[in-house]
Structure 1
Amino acid sequence: MLSLRVGEAVGSCAVEPGEVGEDVVLACVGEPVRKLLRHPLPAVRIAALDAHLQHLRPHHEHAEAVHVERGDSLRKSLHRSEHVVNLLPSGVRRVLVVGVVNSLLQRLRERGIGYVACDRKGGRTEWDEPVITDAENALDDCDAVLASGMVLGSGTFHTLLDHARRTGQPLVFFAQTGSGILPHFLGDGVTAVSAEPYPFFWLDGGPSVLYRYSEVAS
């Protein structure tokens, strides 16, 4: 995860191991935001924009704060997933989950909601279900999308947003990457966002805060 700070705000973008070297990170220190927003690496641009927008529009002034209870990573992940899944509109029957998190899939299973698991790494879920790697081909088989903010850096974001704008189907994000960026698309393709700025829930066992945005609340 690459994180950059602007004032009190920290913006982040998930990266693969080795994708952003230490030299790149050190070169960002002390640079003006306007320069970082023109950086050749997308991850740097996303993290800088995320921090800049959170600095201008802090989550706590515009969203519903919800608390994740203290505990180990599994307990906190399950609690977080409950808040995230609650953002899906009622009546949803089959969800395309882009960015597989097993605790989210567990919550969907508990509610009897079907899903298609999608992640660029592929593999299998905890329940030995196949994880597809191409989100676009599964969109028409689902009536909602639940996606990680990591799609901002993977190139999938515009595919999901265009589909939601064209069809009107719900598009909900759970975001560590781009938590300050995605709420700006509410009402313009995005239905709701669970924004989780740094520090993330898995960094310690204490309580954490999520910020929930929805079209109604915005």
Structure 2
Amino acid sequence: MNAGARTDGRTLDGLVDRALAGELGPDPRTRRIAVAFTTSQAVRHDGRSGGYRNEVLSLRLDRAVGSCSVEPGSLPAGTVEDCAGAEVAGLLDHPLTAVRVAALDAYLMDVTPHAPAHGAEPVTVPAGTSLERSRARAAAVVELLDAVAPGGTVLVVGVVNSLLAELRSRGHVALPCDLKGGTTEWGEAVGTDALAEMGRCDAVLASGMTLGNGTFDPLRQHALEYGKPLVMFAQTGSAVLPRFLGAGVSAVCAEPYPFFWLDGGPGTIHRYRADDGGAL
């Protein structure tokens, strides 16, 4: 992205543009990333037939950590080394989307940390096994779909089996969609074109990973056009997505690093709703 070309402020690139212009906080040319790291995990829960892999790029700016999920093994060699010690401004204009998102997330987390004063509702994810904590997080996320009546259809973009199970337990119909395709834990086919499914759903529940793979802005725009609630669950861009409340995003469940799957102790996630005011 060319930082000199102004873009629509209601898009991810537009938000990056505003950060680069110093409109959202301190001049990013004066801030440097102290630590850059990746977290890689493989998961196979007891009682479930399948497993999955995750990899996350994280950047630390003072007390804040910003993150962006990536396809495992997709980051070029040397990415972490290039980010450590770099100016935030340079990383906001980096050719890799994942670096731009992680840098923006760190910057906004530092400027506007998750706190009730900024519209966040803290929710505790209790201690437990990885599966127990996944289910607890899923319940907290799905509660943000309170506008969807039982029997309503929810398009789930970024398949998480605990979310699908929670939706069913509340009487909703889940339409799973993920760029990887495949099948769910229950053998259901996973669609790959979320936009094509918008007309079939009453609401959308989408992963913050859409920021990193370039599908967030089209999804948000379609939610606006169709008048559908869009709830985001975000490890990627947890401080970025609340900026879009009221601009196509109706609610966000923000989960900054460290994520629930990193240990068995209690943790905190943060819920935002558009009617509490957006920050964009």
The aligned runs of 1:1-218 (5 Å cut-off) are 1-60=56-115, 61-62=117-118, 63-92=120-149, 93-218=152-277
Give the CA deviation at 1:22: 4.3
- Structure with bigger RCO (C-alpha 8 Å, 6+ apart): 1
Whole-Å Cα distance in 2 between the matches of residues 32 and 91 of structure 1? 43
Highest Rg: 1 or 2? Answer: 2
Whole-Å Cα distance in 2 between the matches of residues 44 and 155 of structure 1? 13
CA contact under 8 A between 1:2 and 1:14: conserved in structure 2?
Answer: yes
CA contact under 8 A between 1:125 and 1:131: conserved in structure 2?
Answer: yes
The alignment yields a C-alpha RMSD, in angstroms, of 1.0
Whole-Å Cα distance in 2 between the matches of residues 139 and 46 of structure 1? 25
Whole-Å Cα distance in 1 between the matches of residues 146 and 213 of structure 2? 26
Whole-Å Cα distance in 2 between the matches of residues 114 and 158 of structure 1? 25
135-144 or 18-27: which moved more? 18-27
Whole-Å Cα distance in 1 between the matches of residues 166 and 111 of structure 2? 34
Whole-Å Cα distance in 1 between the matches of residues 169 and 111 of structure 2? 38
Give the CA deviation at 1:38: 0.7
Offset from partner CA, 1:115-158 (integer Å, 9 cap, x none): 11001111111111111111111111101100000000112111
CA contact under 8 A between 1:97 and 1:145: conserved in structure 2?
Answer: yes
Gapped runs of 5+ residues in structure 1?
A: none
**TM-score between the two structures when normalised by the length of structure 1:** 0.97
Whole-Å Cα distance in 2 between the matches of residues 90 and 54 of structure 1? 28
Gapped runs of 5+ residues in structure 2?
A: 1-55
Give the CA deviation at 1:51: 0.5
1:33 aligned partner, one-letter code:
V
Which runs of 4 or more aligned residues in structure 1 lie more than 3 Å from their structure 2 counterparts after TM superposition?
none
Specify the SS of the correspondent of 1:14. Answer: strand
Match of 2:25 in 1: none
Size of the aligned set, in residue pairs, is 218
CA contact under 8 A between 1:89 and 1:170: conserved in structure 2?
Answer: no
Whole-Å Cα distance in 2 between the matches of residues 91 and 97 of structure 1? 13
Specify the SS of the correspondent of 1:126. Answer: coil
Offset from partner CA, 1:23-73 (integer Å, 9 cap, x none): 111111111101110111110000000000010000124201000000111
Whole-Å Cα distance in 2 between the matches of residues 164 and 17 of structure 1? 29
